[in-house]
């Protein structure tokens, strides 16, 4: 049986991505679910309360087995279809999303899912993907390769250091999570840009 929070998150994210981008790539569903989870940590929620786990792939991208299982289940039941550009939400899926979204069980997590998906109003999806590759859990994986669990204690401590800096800059008000999310993504994007520049510069020097 699919994990209930992951099942709902897939419907929520697919709905938002389809509205914004026309379809939802499967990797993007994992990506925005992970960003939403990190925003719950910024809001001082325990990581265990998110309801499912993530691993980092060798490409520096987040992956959740529960998200993958839920996507497969939603396709099988006709709530999602796999199209050429990506996943599409069907009328059946939209009706299920609205039904589940009205349940109190899923109410609190929608705050984090909304802030994560709303970042698409400010940044292109490619920038968000590159920026997230620089967050403390994914950055070591992108550098060394291999796959490993995310949200280990060391990474969480580093995340909270970054989040504390955000609170000091923006103030303690967390009513609109899109504000800290956008500032944090901008910071990570700048890290990504500097990293790419170092790689390019090093490659040029080696070729001389």
Distance of alpha carbon 192 from alpha carbon 202, whole angstroms: 15
pLDDT of residue 152: 80
Let me know: does 179 contact 170? Beta carbons within 8 Å. Answer: yes
- pTM value is 0.91
Distance of alpha carbon 32 from alpha carbon 54, whole angstroms: 12
Conformational region of residue 35, where left means phi above 0, alpha means psi within -120 to 50, and beta covers everything else: alpha
**Phi first, then psi: what are they for 49, rounded to 5°?**
-75, -10
Sequence-separated (6 or more) residues with CB below 8 Å from residue 41 = 47, 151, 156, 159, 160, 163
pLDDT of residue 198: 58
> 66 burial class (0-12, 13-18, 19+ CB within 10 angstroms)?
buried
Whether the predicted pLDDT of 59 surpasses 80: no
Let me know: does 132 contact 155? Beta carbons within 8 Å. Answer: no
Query: How many of the other CB atoms lie within 10 Å of CB of 161?
Result: 10
pLDDT band at 204 (very low <50, low <70, confident <90, very high): very low
pLDDT of residue 60: 78
How confident is the model over 67-99, as pLDDT tens digits? 999 999 999 999 999 988 899 999 999 999 999
- Of the candidates 108, 112, 111, which has an alpha carbon nearest to the alpha carbon of residue 33? 112
Whether the predicted pLDDT of 115 surpasses 50: yes
């Amino acid at each position: 049986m699919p994990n209930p929070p992951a099942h709902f998150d897939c419907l929520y994210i697919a709905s938002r991505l389809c509205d914004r981008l026309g379809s939802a790539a499967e990797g993007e569903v994992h990506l925005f679910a992970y960003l939403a989870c990190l925003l719950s940590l910024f809001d001082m929620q325990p990581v265990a309360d998110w309801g499912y786990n993530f691993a980092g792939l060798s490409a520096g991208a987040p992956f959740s087995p529960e998200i993958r299982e839920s996507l497969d289940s939603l396709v099988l039941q006709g709530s999602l279809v796999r199209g050429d550009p990506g996943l599409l939400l069907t009328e059946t899926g939209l009706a299920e999303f609205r039904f589940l979204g009205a349940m109190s069980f899923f109410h609190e997590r929608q705050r984090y899912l909304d802030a994560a998906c709303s970042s698409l109003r400010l940044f292109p999806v490619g920038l968000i993907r590159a920026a997230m590759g620089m967050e403390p859990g994914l950055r070591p994986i992108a550098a060394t390769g291999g796959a490993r669990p995310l949200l280990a204690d060391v990474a969480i401590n580093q995340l909270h250091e970054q989040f504390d800096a955000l609170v000091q800059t923006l103030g303690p008000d967390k009513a609109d999570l899109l504000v800290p999310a956008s500032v944090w993504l901008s910071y990570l994007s700048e890290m990504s840009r500097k990293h790419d520049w170092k790689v390019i510069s090093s490659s040029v020097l080696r070729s001389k």
